[in-house]
Chain A
Amino acid sequence: EAGVTQSPTHLIKTRGQQATLRCSPISGHTSVYWYQQALGLGLQFLLWYDEGEERNRGNFPPRFSGRQFPNYSSELNVNALELEDSALYLCASSLADRDYQPQHFGDGTRLSIL
């Protein structure tokens, strides 16, 4: 079974640009989560999508946004990039939540802002 896949692996942008990161969940998983892992820090929750809807949002500015497509894949968009946005962006997926379902992670997209 294929795991969570993310693309691109690395992305280099300059300040003020926009970045789009993509995620394909494990087959059968309908929930997708996005986390930011800045250097030396733990993971910070960004966004949760389920069945195409945004279900919850972390403490990040509105220039962080995303969407989930009918095939349950997801995009994370970051507008007006700032230097501090440089981080590893991790996507996770899980089965639909009846009782809590554990999240499984991809290997991330390393976003570097110059």
Chain B
Amino acid sequence: GQQLNQSPQSMFIQEGEDVSMNCTSSSIFNTWLWYKQEPGEGPVLLIALYKAGELTSNGRLTAQFGITRKDSFLNISASIPSDVGIYFCAGQLVPGANNLFFGTGTRLTVIP
């Protein structure tokens, strides 16, 4: 299947710092999404991106759909302890196929 390369694999940051993670693919994606997963729970949708170049914010989170449609990044500003979790990028390859391809995740640890 399609490979989404997500980096970094893990991050340890101090509370209050900004965080940046990204996702790249060799294929063009129609849609990019970012999810957060905490232990014992399913992924929760953070941001959905539908157009190349689109920049969307959700509170302290900002994500962009790359111009080439082969990448996306997620920024978290002023991190807080509850930001801890695993962040996954996901992409929809073609319209109508609907199934998502997921990155391998970025595990975020915030040190108070």
Contact = CB atoms under 8 A, between A and B. Distances in A.
Contact of A99 (B44, B50, B103): B50
B66 interface: no
Interface residues of A, number: 27
B96 interface: yes
Interface stretch (B14-22, B35-43, B56-64, B73-81): B35-43
B102 interface: yes
A90 B33 contact: no
Interface of A: 4, 31, 33, 35, 41-45, 48, 55-56, 58-59, 90, 92, 94, 97, 99-100, 102-108
14 contacts: A4-B42, A33-B99, A42-B4, A42-B103, A56-B97, A90-B42, A100-B50, A100-B92, A105-B42, A105-B43, A105-B44, A107-B40, A107-B42, A108-B41
